[in-house]
Structure 1
Amino acid sequence: MLSIKKARQLALPILSLGASVAFTSCDSESESPSPVEENPYVVSLAMAGSDGTFTYYTVPFEDVMTGTLSAVGQGIEQPGYYDFTQIDNTIYSIGGLDDVDVVGISQGEDGQLKRIGNVSFDNSLADLIKVDDNTLLGLELSAASDVVKFHTIDANTVKVTSTKQHPVSDITELEGPSYAGMRISGNHLFLSYYISDPVTFATPYTDAAQVAVYTYPGLEFVKVIEDDRTGPIGGFNTKSGLIKDEKGDIYALSHSNPANGYSQTTQDGGILRINSGQTAFDPNYFFDVEAVTGGKNIAHLKYLGNGKALAEINAVENAAQKMWSDGPLRTAIVDLYNKTVTYIDGIPEHGGQGRRLSALHEGNFVYMVIPEENKRNYVYRIDLGSNTATKGAEVEANFVAGFFKL
């Protein structure tokens, strides 16, 4: 019988993809064949085996706009299920499902990709964020546990230096708090979540947004703040419920999309704000996303800077969405300050991956991989000056789990 966590993952589209591409990897513990300085782009390619299990290959490339990106004969190999995030010059692979480890991937002095550290937890981490140049903070928030655990981690060795835990009952008396986002601003940590039944995955509570507030660095529980202008923050596996701008203001995204795991919708989707230095939602700020998009909601959000964020927006209203489909989606730039949405010209309507948005922001460009109707994946480079996209290299993978530059 499948575990609860695995059953939930199988509900998402990434595990129903087509045939895999067969190849071998020459992964070692400390190197890949090509120097990273000559191949600065790093892409984590996910490949499905004949039994439906996935293997991830993190591979450096010189160019991502021409030819084909393939892991044939190269790449750091990780079988299982992994989520990838970059913090400074290190890529962290966060194990999920039956994998409960975190491994760093960085560039060695010889210019080669190498693994650094390997730390395991009782449950897989929900996320990993930066505290400072030497410190990370990991979170355990699992339906299988009645505690919330914060792990302080040395960014250089990927080893836990301290752990702080609190009862889940601090933030909810209901079963199934599911992670949506985590950010530190000033002397507080903000943790967003929504309620999802651990057996049925139904979402019975959708009448308000909730964010738990803790002190930082003490990590003492303070309170839960709530706002009924919109519904719960975040969605299943998107990990983008909270983003932070340069001023320290935190923006909280709500959508209650069936496509991202919600069994009901009782509030319009929108974006709330917690001003820097405050521990309450700003009563004077509400970005009514549905009013701007004609009833559509933002599913994924990645902050770019100066109040702008990359967004994946559902092409259909909630009532017309297919459950767990993570799509169909349109790519856009959202201006959080002026409350506008600008769609990107040149990217076709597409499906999502049911997981963290994989995109690289480099100067005036954003790179992301888009699945097309022919079941092929292509890099698209978005020009942030013109809000247009150019099609690039084909990607030989079932999907891309991470897109980085070292």
Structure 2
Amino acid sequence: MFSMKHTSKLALPVLSLCSALLFTSCDSKEDNPTPDADSSFVVSLAIQGSDGGFTYYTVPFRDVMSGSLSAKGKGIEQPGYFDFTQIDNTIYSIGGLDDVNVVGISKTETGELKQVGNVSFPNSLSDIVKADDSKLVALEMASTSDMVKFHTINSGTVSVSSTKQHRVSDITNLSAPSYSGMTISGNHLYLSYYISDPNTFATPHTDKAQIAVYSYPGLEFQKVIEDNRTGPIGGFNTKSGLIKDERGDVYALSHSNPANGYSQTTNKGGILRIKSGETIFDQSYFFDVEQVTGGKNIAHLKYLGNGKALAEVNSADNSQQARWSDGPLRTAIIDLNSKTVTYINGLPEHAGNGRRLAAVQDGKYVYMAIPEGDGIFVYRIDTETNTATKGAEVEANFVAGISKL
């Protein structure tokens, strides 16, 4: 659906460039010095093989603002399709397509990356989120299944401690709900979704937002809440439909972008809120994104703190977007309280990867990889001055994850 730099979600397994074994390291000390305790950045680089499949190399780096970042070095190698998310001091590698395992990646005291656990599921997980200091909740929601499954995972061992499942009919009488976001706040788990035909990927139901509410830690289904001020929450493979602030308030992003999988748009894009502890949409709050941006919509969202979030704004109106293009994008800081959008100076307009946003926050800075011309470069975004500085060039087809351990 996407061009070479943006086709990762459809990639098939491929033999790695260094070996055909899973979780080996490609050692070339001449290109990347042996990592040490100061190698705090970890970048997951996706490289396409001659057969069209991808291999992911997760590699530690001391510096991402100069020189080039190569897959050669001390790291973890994974042929197939993988999604990366960092929770506390562990990166979770979520396998897709034929690889339905989950592996934790953490760092030793000497800067080497190590594998933590390895657990498989009947279907690829949609996502993993933090529940508390020692527990994660993983979601299994496949278009081929009539069940929604929640797996409670021990974060230290990456092992499943319990599973709770519910029928899809609890949340919709339509087939094939597609995952778009999940978060836990207080005694509730919130799950956002939209309806997509599993064969054509058409989205004929776009007139309202829907979020399923479950209890936590019991994970019992409670109800579905709806709001017709905007359309469905989130989009294909972006996984950022729901974010949570320090107070426990949950914000739900809607856009119905064709660039992120929607075949139609019938309601304006915007952001809704669920106040901490509540199981209803806050009718006093609506962030009219289209009004603020002149008809544009936010495609990706990453919460930063103090009511602010990093946003990737599609600079084309929905009617002008190429479906599945995940672009063109402009990076901005949004303020959820004042309902403002401030674009970042020094960043080129770019396309996304059609998947979870690869970006990491480090104090006032956010590091993310941006395609530019024929290359990909890391940019450091100063969230106080709303400016960006160009850094290292990335030797890969795309960046699947940036973390800091």
Same fold (TM over 0.5): yes
Shift of 1:277: 1.1
Shift of 1:360: 0.8
SS at match of 2:247: coil
RMSD: 2.1
Q: Is the 8 A contact 1:23 1:73 kept in 2?
A: no
Amino acid across the alignment from 2:285: Y
Q: Is the 8 A contact 2:18 2:26 kept in 1?
A: no
SS at match of 1:132: coil
- In structure 1, the residue matched to 2:198 is 198
- The structure-2 alpha-carbon separation of the partners of 1:51 and 1:110, relative to structure 1 and needing over 3 Å to count, comes to same
- In structure 1, the residue matched to 2:222 is 222
Q: Is the 8 A contact 1:11 1:324 kept in 2?
A: no
| Structure 1 residues 293-330: Cα deviation after superposition (integer angstroms, max 9, x where no partner) | 00000000000000000000001000000000000000
Q: Is the 8 A contact 1:188 1:214 kept in 2?
A: yes
SS at match of 1:45: strand
Q: Relative to structure 2, which stretch is displaced further, 126-135 or 259-268?
A: 126-135
Shift of 1:356: 0.2
Shift of 1:9: 8.5
- In structure 2, the residue matched to 1:322 is 322
- In structure 2, the residue matched to 1:383 is 382
CA distance in 1, matches of 2:332, 2:109: 38
Number of residue pairs aligned between Structure 1 and Structure 2: 395
- In structure 2, the residue matched to 1:365 is 365
Query: Is 1:394 equivalent to 2:388 in the alignment?
Result: no
CA distance in 2, matches of 1:110, 1:39: 9
| Structure 1 residues 46-86: Cα deviation after superposition (integer angstroms, max 9, x where no partner) | 00001110000000001100000001243210000000000
Amino acid across the alignment from 1:180: S
CA distance in 1, matches of 2:148, 2:168: 6
- The structure-2 alpha-carbon separation of the partners of 1:28 and 1:298, relative to structure 1 and needing over 3 Å to count, comes to closer
- In structure 2, the residue matched to 1:100 is 100
| Structure 1 residues 100-156: Cα deviation after superposition (integer angstroms, max 9, x where no partner) | 100011112443211111000010000001111211110001101100000000111
| Structure 1 residues 4-45: Cα deviation after superposition (integer angstroms, max 9, x where no partner) | xxxx7899932599xx9x953799858787344121110000
TM-score in terms of structure 1 length: 0.94
- In structure 1, the residue matched to 2:7 is 14
- The structure-2 alpha-carbon separation of the partners of 1:351 and 1:30, relative to structure 1 and needing over 3 Å to count, comes to closer
- In structure 2, the residue matched to 1:264 is 264
Amino acid across the alignment from 1:24: C
- In structure 2, the residue matched to 1:158 is 158
SS at match of 1:262: coil
- In structure 2, the residue matched to 1:213 is 213
Q: Percent identity?
A: 70
Query: Is 1:87 equivalent to 2:87 in the alignment?
Result: yes
Amino acid across the alignment from 1:211: I
SS at match of 1:103: strand
SS at match of 1:125: coil
List gaps (5 residues or longer) in structure 1. 1-7
CA distance in 2, matches of 1:392, 1:153: 36
